Structure 1
């Protein structure tokens, strides 16, 4: 893991004013709280490398995500979403992340995709982080009833050179109907399908169907929440090599896990505990 740590001055100045580029900015109140990030690797077992690091929001002292999200409301949603994007990129650059970084975003905080993305583009340029190494994924727990609007947002992000991902796929809010109109770059299978898939015929059938659809549409699949060797081996047998979960590495607060610290399987298929 890297050992460099951001200093207090590296926090986004959440109390500063933001230009009113769209209707959401002008109505947003100042946040009044700080947050930071932990990074969890998404591994590629085919190449034994780190494919990306997901930026997971945390409190300034490492408090869980809900400590932060409980302070987000309709009035500050836009400002929070914008601050998250900038800080995730800035921190990843400071930590020397050479792989992709995956950033959760709030679709309901996006008023005009072509306008709301400007701050992200400016942050990427300012910190020298290439847009093609930034993945935008719909944040876990965000329920989006307007599929066409979500597709519009993601399509604009793709146009700007970002990768796009649907998180929690199979949980019900961004299902097959969305894929009929828009194909993201990445699908992250919901943990409820991943957990215990090796022992559940129904989960296996559903998962196989989703993987085949994504393969035909040219969408990469990530198995999220992999915790056991048996879960890992099932997905490998189905041709899924991108995975994320405690079996490989836990989120690291203000750090990113490097490839030599991943619990890679040995030649027998047994997960190895990395040397710390």
Structure 2
């Protein structure tokens, strides 16, 4: 991995980030699960930019320590360990991305209801990025739209703080829950990811086509990038591309690879009618 030199200082960010006592050891403990009570790791799946036929970013997807499904890990998360798990995810994903030498951004899912000390949450992430030499602007924090948010305005403020700190933000599974448009009214993320249920067979479903086209228009007006996820067929890809979506993710392009960088299928990057 190329050595990167960058500064994390940002005068626009209102919190005073003094180094945490024992931060390096704390980050290592979070990363290896020593204090969490169970082990986990990550697979990485690319998000492709079809306009340039390149990788836009990689999503870090939680897995068991030997590549087991995400469900085997998430079933062990409860109210007692939710906060530590959220912190561990950040550290582990950043460390893994740095070790793989990823040049593109890494997208990390986080649990909004686990954030009860924003200054500590962000400070731990800053320290993990510093330790592993991963630029802040290449970290995307995703939150699932369907996640039950206890306090919407407070959550929007948390996302605004993340953006001021230099991170990118994304709403995942957009269209799967009921709070999407209200959340967009309170906060405009850098990216929204359209839920795969809206994408599935969109080439032959007029209702889904209308919804997605209107959503693309809305995001264009709000200067939000759109990612379509769960792409499995060339027909889905072609319709979405023709609708103005150039960022996509799904098995058509590459499956997640455990502790590795996935290789794209070159043929999937070329539209059938082009």
SS at match of 1:67: helix
State whether residues 189 and 223 of structure 1, in contact with CA within 8 Å, keep that contact through their aligned partners in structure 2. yes
Shift of 1:172: 1.8
Shift of 1:11: 8.4
Shift of 1:149: 2.3
Say whether 1:245 aligns with 2:264.
no
2:162 to 139, 157, 164: 157
**Could you state the TM-score of these two structures normalised by the residue count of structure 2?**
0.85
Q: 2:53: which partner in 1?
A: 48
Dislocated runs of 4+, deviation >6 Å = none
Q: Deviations over 1:33-77 (max 9, x none)?
A: 100000000000000110000000000011000000000000000
Q: Cα gap change, 1:60/1:215 in structure 2, threshold over 3 Å: closer, same or farther? A: same
Shift of 1:231: 0.6
State whether residues 145 and 175 of structure 2, in contact with CA within 8 Å, keep that contact through their aligned partners in structure 1. no
Across the two proteins, how many residue pairs are aligned to each other? 247
> Gaps (5+ residues) in structure 1?
1-8, 16-29, 271-276
Q: For the residues of structure 2 that align with 1:10 and 1:148, how far apart are their CA atoms?
A: 32
State whether residues 136 and 164 of structure 1, in contact with CA within 8 Å, keep that contact through their aligned partners in structure 2. yes
State whether residues 145 and 176 of structure 2, in contact with CA within 8 Å, keep that contact through their aligned partners in structure 1. no
**Superposition pairs for residues 1-276 of structure 1, below 5 Å?**
12-15=31-34, 30-139=35-144, 142-258=147-263, 261-266=265-270, 268-269=272-273
RMSD: 1.9
Q: For the residues of structure 2 that align with 1:11 and 1:115, how far apart are their CA atoms?
A: 13
Shift of 1:267: 6.5
Q: Cα gap change, 1:137/1:106 in structure 2, threshold over 3 Å: closer, same or farther? A: same
Q: Cα gap change, 1:189/1:254 in structure 2, threshold over 3 Å: closer, same or farther? A: same
